[in-house]
Structure 1
Amino acid sequence: MTIHPDIEGYDLIGDVHGCGATLAALLEKLGYQQHEGVYRHPRRRAIFLGDLIDRGPHIRQAVTIARRMVEAGEAQIVMGNHEYNALAYCRRAKTCSGREWLREHTPRHNRIINETLEQYREHPVEWEETLAWFMDMPLLLEQDGLRVVHACWDQPLIDEFRRHYPDARMTEAFLQQSVEPGSFAFKVLDRLTRGSHISLPGDIEIHSGDGFTRRSFRAHFWARNPRTYGDVVFQPDNLPGDLELRPLTEAERDRLSYYGPEEPPLFIGHYWCEGIPALPAPNIACLDYSAVKFGRLVAYRWSGERRLDANHFVWIRVPQEEWARPWPWEIDFD
C-alpha cells in the first residue's frame, strides 16, 4: 500500500496526558501552523495515539487541539485506556448487578481522573461533548501501510472485532459489556488499550514511580520465543529481586500476543518509556516517553518506510515550568 497522494506522510504523536502547551510546541516544531483555531500542515497529517487526558496541567487545551484537528480532517486518533476509563467512570451501569458505575469510583480511580474532572468542572457541557467524542474514537487504525493502536496489536482478536465492528468503533452496548471479565468486549478493550500484563508471584508488589502499587507488570508482544520475565517486561519500573530470570509458564506464554518482524510498521503508546526515543523492534515504535512526568512528548515522522528509522523521532522535553506556564494566547478555547 502507498500513502494517499495528497499527503507526504503522517506524524504520529504519543501520549499527551494534558501537556497542552508542549503539544502546541511539538506541532509547531513539526511544521504545523495554527489557523482559525486548527493546527494544519500543507503536506502531512497527524495521528494521535490516545491518552490525551489525565494528570497534566492543560487537559482541556490538549483535547481541544486534537479534537479540532480531527474534526477538520487534519488528524486522526485512536482511543487510549484513559479515554476508555473516562467513559466507563462517567457511565452508569445498566446490567452489572451491584455496580453503580461501569468504572467504580474507588480512591484509586478517583485519583487518576481527578485532574481531568477538575479542569472541566466549570465546563460541564464541553465535558459531555468530549465524552461523546471519545465514544467516536476507533480502537485501531490500519491504512496506507501502517498500523496504530494504543497498547497492543493482537491480530486474531482484531480480526474478530472487525467482523462485528468494521469501523473499529465500539457501541454503547459494547461499552457496557466491556467491564464484565471474560466477555469479548472486555478482552478487546483490555488487550488493545492496556496490553498484556503478567501477575507477580505471591505477595510481591511493584511500587511505581507514579505513586501506585502494582501486583503485575506490563509485557510487550514482539519476542518470538520468550522464556523469562526479562524477555518481555516493558515498563520503566524494574522487577524486584531476580524476577527477570524467572521462567515464563506455559500459560503465561499462551496469553501473550506476538507481532512479527514481517508485519507492517506499528505505532503504539502506553508504556511510559524513558530516555532518548529508540525503536524496540525494526517495525515497531513506542511513542509514550512519560511526557507528564517531565519526560518527552514524542512524535515519529513516517513517510512510507517499511523499516522504521530512529532518526525520524521528533520530541519536545516537558519542562516543569509547563505547570506554571500560561496557555498560548492565540488560541481561543472558550
Structure 2
Amino acid sequence: MEGYDLIGDVHGCGATLAALLERLGYHQRGGVYRHPRRKVIFLGDLIDRGPRIRLAVTIARRMVEEGEALIVMGNHEINALAYCHRAPPELARPWLREHTPRHNRIVKETLEQYRDHPQEWEEVLDWFLEIPLCLEQDGLRVVHACWDPALIDELRRTRPDARIDLDFLTAAVRPDTREFRILDRLTRGSHIPLPEGVQIHSGDGFTRRSFRAHFWARAPRTWGDVVFQPDNLPGDLERRELSDAERGRLSYYGPDEPPLFIGHYWCEGVPALPAPNIACLDYSAVKFGRLVAYRWSGEARLDANHFVWIRVPREEQARPQPWEIDCD
C-alpha cells in the first residue's frame, strides 16, 4: 500500500467517476476498479441529482465490498434512508423523513433511476446502513462534513465501528436527541441561522435561511470568519459579530490534528486547501464543476499539488456515455 485516493461527493456523476478512477490508475478487473498499490476512500453523497446514480453506487459498492475502497456516510445517504423507511406510530407521520415538495425534489432523480430496479434499491438501502459515519486510520481522518471530537467520542462509546442502525436513525428524527446531534453535525456540519426575513437564493435552486460554517478558525469574531459555501452572505452580514451562543455551538479542528478529509460544501474553482491539515473534496461535480480526488501517501502536511480532478463537461456529446462503462 502506497496510500489512499480520497474522492469527494459524486452525486450520481457515475461516468465521470469511472473516468477519474482511470486517471488515478485504477482499472476494471472482474467488474471492479482496482489499483495494485492504492485504495480509494469515498466521502459520501454518492446519490441524488446526477445522471448516472446507479452507476456511481455500483462502482463504489463493488470496490468497498471487494476491499478496494472504504467509504463514509453522507447526508444524502442519511436522507434516502429516512425518506424510504416508515416512521413508528408515535411520530404521527408515515415516513421518518417527510415527503415534502423540497424533500421529494432532492431524491427525485435517485428514485427515478432505480424505479425499474426495486430489489436493487432495497439492497442499496441495506448497504447504506453498513457505512460508518467517520473513519480514523493510518494517520488520517475522514468524515463527510465536520469532525467534532466530542460527538465522535460519544458515538464510539456505544458504536465503536461508527455505524448506525434503524433505531439510531429513528431517534435522530427528533432534534432534542444525541442521535440527531451526532448525525446532523457529522454529515451536515454547522449552520448559523440568518436574521428574520433574510434568505439566500442558492445556485442549486433552493432558498436557504441559514449558512454553512466551517470549523477550523481558531478565534472567529464575525460571520465572515466562518462562512464556507459558494453563496455570498447578503448585504454586510459577513461583518456581523458572532454571538457567544453561535461561537459556542461551533466545532474546532486545530492545526496540530491529523490530516482530515471532508466533502459536503460544494466549493468552486480550482481545488485548494482551506487549512494545512484539511482538504475539502466537494467541488460541485453535479453542477458542472470538478469531481476531485486527493492522492494521500502518508504526509502530515497536505499539499495542493496532490489534488487530481476531472471537469464535468456541460456538452452532452463530451460526456462519457453509460454504454462505454460496463460494470455488468
TM-score by length of 1: 0.96
Instruction: Give CA deviations for 1:264-305 in whole Å, capped at 9, x if unaligned.
Output: 000000001000000000000000000000000000000000
The residue number in structure 1 matching 2:240 is 246
1:317 aligns with 2:311: yes
Cα gap change, 1:322/1:149 in structure 2, threshold over 3 Å: closer, same or farther? farther
SS in 2 for 1:116: helix
The residue number in structure 2 matching 1:261 is 255
What RMSD over aligned residues (CA atoms) do the two structures have, in Å? 1.0
Counterpart-to-counterpart distance in 2, 1:46 and 1:330 = 19
The residue number in structure 2 matching 1:87 is 81
The residue number in structure 1 matching 2:119 is 125
SS in 1 for 2:39: strand
State the 1:171 CA deviation. 1.7
How many residues get paired?
Answer: 327
Which of 163, 184, 194 is the equivalent residue of 2:188? 194
Q: Match of 1:186, as an amino acid?
A: F
1:195-274 pair list within 5 angstroms: 195-274=189-268
SS in 1 for 2:126: helix
Cα gap change, 1:96/1:297 in structure 2, threshold over 3 Å: closer, same or farther? farther
SS in 2 for 1:18: coil
1:156-167 pair list within 5 angstroms: 156-167=150-161
Q: Match of 1:211, as an amino acid?
A: G
Asked if the contact 2:18/2:325 (under 8 Å) is kept, the reply is no
The residue number in structure 1 matching 2:322 is 327
Q: Match of 1:326, as an amino acid?
A: Q
State the 1:238 CA deviation. 0.2
State the 1:322 CA deviation. 5.2
State the 1:321 CA deviation. 3.4
Counterpart-to-counterpart distance in 2, 1:187 and 1:292 = 28
Q: Match of 2:56, as an amino acid?
A: A
Counterpart-to-counterpart distance in 2, 1:159 and 1:85 = 23
The residue number in structure 2 matching 1:3 is none
The residue number in structure 2 matching 1:171 is 165
Counterpart-to-counterpart distance in 2, 1:10 and 1:325 = 25
Asked if the contact 1:149/1:193 (under 8 Å) is kept, the reply is yes
Instruction: Give CA deviations for 1:218-258 in whole Å, capped at 9, x if unaligned.
Output: 00000010000000000000000000000000000000000
Asked if the contact 1:22/1:322 (under 8 Å) is kept, the reply is no
The residue number in structure 2 matching 1:54 is 48
The residue number in structure 1 matching 2:130 is 136
Counterpart-to-counterpart distance in 1, 2:73 and 2:181 = 15
Sequence identity percentage: 77
Counterpart-to-counterpart distance in 2, 1:74 and 1:322 = 31
The residue number in structure 2 matching 1:307 is 301
1:36-75 pair list within 5 angstroms: 36-75=30-69
Q: Which runs of 5+ in 1 are unaligned?
A: 1-6
The residue number in structure 2 matching 1:105 is 99
Instruction: Give CA deviations for 1:19-60 in whole Å, capped at 9, x if unaligned.
Output: 001000000000000111100000000000000000000000
Q: Match of 1:169, as an amino acid?
A: R
Q: Match of 1:149, as an amino acid?
A: V
